[in-house]
Chain A
Amino acid sequence: MASLTLSAVSKSYGGAAHAVDSVSIDVGDGEFIVLVGPSGCGKSTLLRMVAGLERITSGEVQIGGRAVNTVDPADRDIAMVFQNYALYPHMTVRENMAYALKNRHVAKAEIAARVDEAARMLELHPYLDRKPRALSGGQRQRVAMGRAIVRKPAAFLFDEPLSNLDAKLRVSMRAEIRKLQRRLGTTSLYVTHDQLEAMTLADRLVVLNGGKVEQIGAPLDIYHRPASTFVASFIGAPAMNLCDAQVAGAALHFGGIQFALGPHGPAQGPVTLGLRAEDLRLAAPGEASVALRIDHIEELGAQRLIHGAVDGQEVTLAMSPSEPLSDTLAVHVPPQRLHIFDTLTGKRIVGWDGAVTTAQSVSAWGAK
């Protein structure tokens, strides 16, 4: 059990481009941190640098207060779970789990006890003497976890451990990993490209893009207050609608209606307006609204996703399947749920939040 500190960690492969660019993360003792981002964002590289499988170009990694930049992976006191499990195919489950301990010359009785304990936790007892090839994907995943647990490491590193499993198993393994981590209280660093997995597992999320940290925060914070258009479109499903809007005077103009901004509103000119599909709803009679022309509909059962256009800009709206449909919908945009981003940098514009008060219709549509 230990904290994990990354200070300005960078990785470059010879050229000028950085695969990981000056990433700093403080992971508290026992915290579950998920690194999330699209493929090629450097999240796996970052994890592998913590594990010691990749050299660190610059910056420092500390595990439990000890700088480990030049420490061998075996001596970093970490355990890693790989995407393809990386079990030794010629060893039984028991031998797989015991191998690391054997290499550290742990006493035989102690090894047996620890393997037994891990097997009990993961319900692996019936399979201890089987070879990995005789196990299903989910069982192999458990063995990989067991191999990590018996080490009793300072930190667990997970490299997309669930992406080789089918959807149903993934959900149950996700819950299991979370439960296990809570129970053991081991600091964990978890890499995934699946934002849902990230949201459900993490104490805190680190959203990476192009080797840089876009945002660090609790899952709900990130969901409700994304720091950039990248985070906004990456976290949450369906992705947040990002539309062009104009600030003119003290108001934001979008889709024929205007929102009155407070005294600290953004500068005049174009901005990017972010709207969550689930924040939009059909307008009540007399309410200011924008017109959404329906393009196509996705039926999800519990929910209906409506893809359409407002003023020629694509907008997705989530609504209950029981509500009536027509070719064009009058949609209410709740002013307190607006996200405003700088069009050029994509950064969230702060300072005005909460100041939006009313939405006034300026077109015939809104009056309907």
Chain B
Amino acid sequence: MFRTRPLDHLILILGALFLLVPVLVAFMTSTHTATEIHRSGLTLLPGDNFAATYTKVLTQQGGFTGQITGARMLMNSAILGIGFALGKIVLSMLAAYALVYFRFRLAVPMFWVIFTTLLLPLEVRIMPSYQVMAQLGLLNSYTGLIVPLLASATGTFYFRQFFKSVPDELLEAARIDGAGPVKFFIDILIPLSRSMIAAIFIIMFVYGWNQYLWPMLMTTEERFFTLMRGIKSILQVWVGSNIPDYNEAFALAVLAMLPPVAVVVIFQRWFIKGLTESDK
């Protein structure tokens, strides 16, 4: 039998602490008042301002126009994250379906064109994308926020690889069973891809949730602000003798962390399966 040695545990504990302590510090610090934080820095001990701070960031209207609350920003981030993830899954599944199951001219070159765009980060095309959206009059709208980022080389690539691993006999059996292309996609392929969909959903949700640059360019009205921008704007008010609301920034950061964590926890089982095995 393999004997567990204390050293192994020590390494694991250190690793866990390394990841957990910053989160803990952020949470604990957020329960103190801004003045305390400014005076004594980060802390590991809980303060007594938890309820006050969190109620304030979630409900108090802030920003320049006074229209935006933390809850609103949470909602915006959620719309962005979910819209992103779902849109990308639908688009990339359809694209991969076409690439794998239909014989058409230039399918392979097309795939490689899509694939190479994996190498280009969003920032490379951010200006042209912005201009297109501006000319379509889609600035300051959810459509403008979400649609330009939907085409996903990563998703298409993953789904293509997955579809290729589905045995051909399934398609043939379905054809003999009288399932056309649409039926095969809906009845067979989508249920088979469940774990893949879960995996992509997590990755894309977190990606969308964490978007910062794109929402900043696309939206100028505060009612479209996402959490990421909210945190930033709290720290920007360092004017005169104001102390920045560190506690609020930390509280927002903690809040911003929760939904992705929730998504990962919920989809975790499928997620791991999707990345490691193709269940046949």
| Residues of A near any B CB (own CB < 8 A) | 51-53, 72-75, 78-80, 82-84, 86-91, 99-100, 103-104, 133, 147
Neighbour of B175 across the interface among A73, A83, A147, CB < 8 A: A73
- A contact residues around B8 at 8 Å (CB): none
Q: Which residue of A is nearest B183, CB measured?
A: A103
Bound complex: CA A133 to CA B273 (Å): 16
Would you give the shortest CB distance from A160 to chain B, in whole angstroms?
Answer: 12
- A contact residues around B46 at 8 Å (CB): none
Does B128 reach chain A (CB closer than 8 Å)?
no
Contact: A100 with B176, CB < 8 Å?
yes
Contact: B175 with A82, CB < 8 Å?
no
Given the known inter-chain contacts A99-B187, A103-B183, please indicate yes or no for A86 contacting B170, CB distance below 8 A.
yes
Could you show 20 A-B contacts with beta carbons less than 8 Å apart? A52-B175, A53-B176, A72-B175, A73-B175, A74-B176, A74-B177, A74-B179, A78-B176, A79-B176, A80-B176, A86-B169, A86-B172, A89-B192, A89-B280, A90-B194, A99-B177, A99-B179, A100-B177, A100-B178, A103-B183
Given the known inter-chain contacts A88-B188, A89-B192, A103-B177, please indicate yes or no for A82 contacting B172, CB distance below 8 A.
yes
- A contact residues around B192 at 8 Å (CB): 89-90
| Residues of B near any A CB (own CB < 8 A) | 167, 169-170, 172-179, 183, 187-188, 191-192, 194, 279-280
Q: Which residue of B is nearest A82, CB measured?
A: B169
Bound complex: CA A80 to CA B183 (Å): 19
Of listed B183, B187, B279, residue having the most chain A CB within 10 A: B187
Would you give the shortest CB distance from B278 to chain A, in whole angstroms?
Answer: 10
Q: Which residue of A is nearest B173, CB measured?
A: A86
- A contact residues around B279 at 8 Å (CB): 89, 133
Bound complex: CA A103 to CA B179 (Å): 7
Bound complex: CA A87 to CA B167 (Å): 10
Q: Which residue of B is nearest A48, CB measured?
A: B172
- B contact residues around A100 at 8 Å (CB): 176-178
- A contact residues around B194 at 8 Å (CB): 90
Would you give the shortest CB distance from B102 to chain A, in whole angstroms?
Answer: 16
Would you give the shortest CB distance from A120 to chain B, in whole angstroms?
Answer: 22
Contact: B170 with A74, CB < 8 Å?
no
Would you give the shortest CB distance from A63 to chain B, in whole angstroms?
Answer: 13
Bound complex: CA A189 to CA B29 (Å): 76
Would you give the shortest CB distance from A162 to chain B, in whole angstroms?
Answer: 16
Would you give the shortest CB distance from B68 to chain A, in whole angstroms?
Answer: 44
Bound complex: CA A87 to CA B174 (Å): 9
Q: A89-B279, A100-B178 are in contact. List 11 more A-B contacts (CB 8 A).
A: A53-B172, A53-B176, A74-B175, A74-B177, A89-B280, A90-B188, A90-B192, A99-B174, A133-B280, A147-B173, A147-B177
Would you give the shortest CB distance from B155 to chain A, in whole angstroms?
Answer: 21
Contact: A53 with B170, CB < 8 Å?
no
- B contact residues around A83 at 8 Å (CB): 169
Given the known inter-chain contacts A88-B188, A89-B279, A99-B187, please indicate yes or no for A80 contacting B173, CB distance below 8 A.
yes
- A contact residues around B167 at 8 Å (CB): 84, 86
Bound complex: CA A147 to CA B279 (Å): 22
Would you give the shortest CB distance from B15 to chain A, in whole angstroms?
Answer: 36
Contact: A74 with B172, CB < 8 Å?
no
Bound complex: CA A146 to CA B202 (Å): 39
- A contact residues around B175 at 8 Å (CB): 52-53, 72-74
Bound complex: CA A72 to CA B169 (Å): 16
Of listed B167, B172, B179, B183, residue having the most chain A CB within 10 A: B172
